[in-house]
Amino acid sequence: MEATPPGELLQDAAQRAIAYLQSVPHRSITPSPQALLRLGELNHPLPQTGVDAREVLRRLDEIGSPTTVATTGGRYFGLVIGGTLPATIAANWLAAAWDQNASFRWTSPIAATLEDVSLQWLSDLFGLPDGVAGAFVTGASMANMSALASARHALLSRLGWDVEAKGLYGAPELRVVVSEEAHITILKSLSLLGLGRERVIRVPTDHRGRLKIESLPALDDRTIVCIQAGNVNTGDFDPAAEVCRRAREAGAWVHVDGAFGLWALAHPAFTALTEGLAMADSWATDGHKLLNVPYDSGIVLVRNAADLRAAMSANAAYLAEGDAGDREPSHYTPESSRRARGVEIWAALLNLGRDGIAGLVERTCRHARSFAKGLSDQGFEILNDVVLNQVLVSFGSPELTRAVIRHLQSEGICWCGGTVWQGRPVMRISVSNWATTEADVQLSIEAMVRAARQLHAESSA
């Protein structure tokens, strides 16, 4: 068997990928049952002799492409899933060909440089102080974890304790304050860091999911406060300015989980929500949500570079190359070997520019407001103030709302998930994709209204 030449193979892959992307606007978002049945064909023993790469690709495309969920299209509104700007897919393809290990400047000067540049751009875009350090990680989960590791380091080292060396055995006690609405990844990070997911002070929240400032306990220099920019259900923001002011006075650390909401800093229309965010000590956000770069792509930013570095840096004789003064990426990340995620972030930032980023955030939020208006005009209840890109809707009874979600998911015109908001089962709409158009929104509203009316009529019959 003749092996397919690499050039031919990659041309074939590009054509298949392009055909896939072109099919997405016209196909069902969820895979059909027939397509899913074909997944069984992949389930065979490892062959003794290898299969030619072209045939590998053919199987992947013919079985795999129809069994994807078309999250990259403009009518996917589940979780907080962004799409992929064409510039970022292209950058990702080239970066795959480079196959750089982004650990060090000497393993990849280009990856390290794109990280430096992107960090500077992000820091400017978000209005963060000079000297902020950052790292490119898998997602906001790992960004939250890295930021909280920096917080743990900073507070304990000020108390004379070297947590990286000695762990938490016998360490001075830290207090962690979170809101009742803190994202699960904050709690998971606390558990990974030995700070305990239940050993936290939980501050009550208001009807919009915002931390109630009047219930914030007194802070001190042993306290980490986690606030959020963008509640995963309502999209709302905790009162950062007042939390940060109190934390500054007390010597406490404020971490902002801004997985998608931090991008609101890119547009002046959101100033009332974002006020004070830049005063925090650390921030976590995602590239794969509102910035629309491919998975997996998260970013951690820490005000005092030394804190992130101290929490993450590890050395061995065989790794000590390069100039001591340079920023070596792996000294700021939990991983060692790592793909060059900065490539796509850089491509997105450069391709969009400040105006394009602001426009992307503004557009997704405008579409969210269109959803809210369109659905409430049809008599359905919107449960949140649509301040960003998230919409919570009830179609009537909990059963009917759940039935509408199931119907939409199997119909395949648009995709939304469910959640429970303040005790009520609701449907969540998250508009996070650059490709969503007003026509997508209207088509989706029609599908939702049709489903709700039909299911209501069936249940009343």
Ligand X SMILES: Cc1ncc(COP(=O)(O)O)c(C=O)c1O
Contacts with ligand X by CB under 6 A lie at 79-80, 139-141, 183, 185, 228, 230, 232, 257, 259-260, 286, 298
Kindly tell me which of 79 and 171 has the beta carbon lying closer to ligand X.
79
Kindly tell me which of 31 and 298 has the beta carbon lying closer to ligand X.
298
Q: Give me the least distance between CB of 184 and ligand X, in Å please.
A: 8
> Which whole-number Å values give the CA distances from 313 to 159, 223, 302, 310, in the listed order?
20, 24, 14, 6
Kindly tell me which of 107 and 333 has the beta carbon lying closer to ligand X.
333
Kindly tell me which of 376 and 422 has the beta carbon lying closer to ligand X.
422
Q: How far is 176 from 203, CA to CA, in rounded Å?
A: 11
Contact between 288 and 298 (Cβ < 8 Å): yes
Q: Give me the least distance between CB of 2 and ligand X, in Å please.
A: 43
Q: How far is 54 from 56, CA to CA, in rounded Å?
A: 5
Place of tokens 């990849």: 108
Q: Give me the least distance between CB of 285 and ligand X, in Å please.
A: 9
Q: Give me the least distance between CB of 415 and ligand X, in Å please.
A: 15
Q: How far is 139 from 299, CA to CA, in rounded Å?
A: 7
Q: Which is it for strands 282-286 and 298-302: parallel, antiparallel or unpaired?
A: antiparallel
Cα 440 vs. chain centroid, distance in angstroms? 22
Q: Give me the least distance between CB of 142 and ligand X, in Å please.
A: 7
Kindly tell me which of 122 and 400 has the beta carbon lying closer to ligand X.
122
Kindly tell me which of 140 and 310 has the beta carbon lying closer to ligand X.
140
Q: Give me the least distance between CB of 355 and ligand X, in Å please.
A: 25
Q: How far is 286 from 348, CA to CA, in rounded Å?
A: 13
Q: Give me the least distance between CB of 186 and ligand X, in Å please.
A: 7
- Look at residues 304, 273, 300, 266 and name the one whose alpha carbon lies nearest to residue 286: 300
Kindly tell me which of 150 and 228 has the beta carbon lying closer to ligand X.
228
Kindly tell me which of 66 and 298 has the beta carbon lying closer to ligand X.
298
What angle, rounded to 10 degrees, do the helices at 140-158 and 184-192 form? 50
Q: Give me the least distance between CB of 210 and ligand X, in Å please.
A: 13
Q: Give me the least distance between CB of 260 and ligand X, in Å please.
A: 6
Q: How far is 108 from 291, CA to CA, in rounded Å?
A: 24
- Nearest residue to ligand X on Cβ basis: 139
Which value, in Å, is the radius of gyration of the alpha carbons in the chain?
24
Kindly tell me which of 396 and 417 has the beta carbon lying closer to ligand X.
417
